[in-house]
């Protein structure tokens, strides 16, 4: 009987020995990692904090601008265009713009080729437009001239309506426009614009809808 108990005891010890070896091995492996973790927890990184300027542009919502460029008056050549505008920025994305523009139309091909009297008088050749647009800032971003020199910019689209005085008539006008502005600092921007003034005329003897494309550039002031 003693021999049987001894045999059972030996077998039990043999079964427990692999488990003990696994426990000892695990302890030996985890001990250095625990010590390293404890050492790292005592390290405090030294990070130099820098001041961040969040508000680079003025918060004022009014805009005043002047531009000069060229307008292609349909049937009447390309002429110099001068315009001015006043804008109000409703939010970061939307704005209103009241605009006035003026140009002098040239001659038609018919007037150049024939010896007849001019179709329009000098006063009737003066084109003036005034209207109201609503704009949307589509792509705000930055222009990088170097690693340390960057300017804020924004590309916007506009849709509006107004009135065009030309050839002795006042015509309802629809205006589509795009603008690209580059901010030199917090109160002045370089403004580039392309627009199409669409209105009806009967100057050449037939009623038709004309597209009058213009390209302008100028400056805008914010306050």
Tens of pLDDT, residues 91-123: 999 999 999 999 999 988 777 777 777 888 889
- Given a cut of 50, the residues of the chain with pLDDT beneath it are 1-13, 17, 27, 30, 36-38, 40-41, 52-57
Query: Whole-angstrom Cα distance, residue 216 to residue 196?
Result: 12
Strand partners, 80: 70
In terms of phi and psi (left: phi > 0; alpha: psi -120 to 50; beta: otherwise), the region of 13 is: alpha
Distance CA 186, CA 104 (A): 35
Nearest residue to 97 (alpha-carbon basis) of 74, 70, 129? 129
What pLDDT does residue 204 have?
74
Domains located in the chain, CATH noted: 62-222 (2.40.160.20)
pLDDT at 110: 77
14-38 residue pLDDT tens: 555 455 555 555 545 545 555 544 4
Question: According to the model, what pLDDT value does residue 54 have?
Answer: 47
Is pTM, for the whole model, over 0.75?
no
Task: Give the pLDDT score at 111.
Answer: 78
Reported as half-sphere exposure (CB side, CA atoms, 13 A), residue 120 has a value of 23
Place of tokens 């130099």: 48
**Predicted local distance difference test score (pLDDT) of residue 186:** 84
């Amino acid at each position: 009987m003693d021999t049987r108990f001894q045999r059972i005891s030996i077998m039990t010890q043999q079964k427990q020995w692999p488990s003990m070896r696994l426990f000892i091995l695990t302890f030996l492996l985890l001990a250095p990692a625990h010590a390293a973790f404890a050492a790292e927890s005592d390290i405090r990184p030294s990070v130099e904090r820098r001041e961040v300027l969040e508000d680079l542009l003025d918060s004022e919502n009014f805009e005043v601008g002047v531009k000069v460029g060229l307008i292609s008056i349909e049937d009447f050549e390309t002429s110099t265009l001068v315009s001015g505008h006043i804008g109000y920025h409703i939010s970061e994305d939307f704005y209103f713009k009241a605009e006035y523009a003026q140009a002098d139309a040239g001659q038609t091909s018919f007037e150049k080729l024939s010896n007849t009297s001019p179709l329009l008088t000098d006063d009737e050749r003066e084109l003036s437009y005034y209207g109201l647009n609503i704009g949307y800032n589509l792509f705000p971003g930055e222009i990088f001239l170097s690693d340390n020199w960057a300017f804020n910019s924004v590309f916007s689209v506009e849709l509006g309506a107004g009135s065009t005085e030309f050839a002795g008539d006042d015509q309802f006008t629809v205006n589509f426009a795009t603008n690209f502005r580059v901010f030199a600092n917090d109160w002045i921007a370089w403004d580039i614009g392309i627009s199409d003034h669409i209105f009806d005329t009967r100057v050449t003897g037939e009623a038709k809808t004309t597209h009058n494309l213009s390209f302008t550039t100028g400056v805008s002031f914010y306050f």
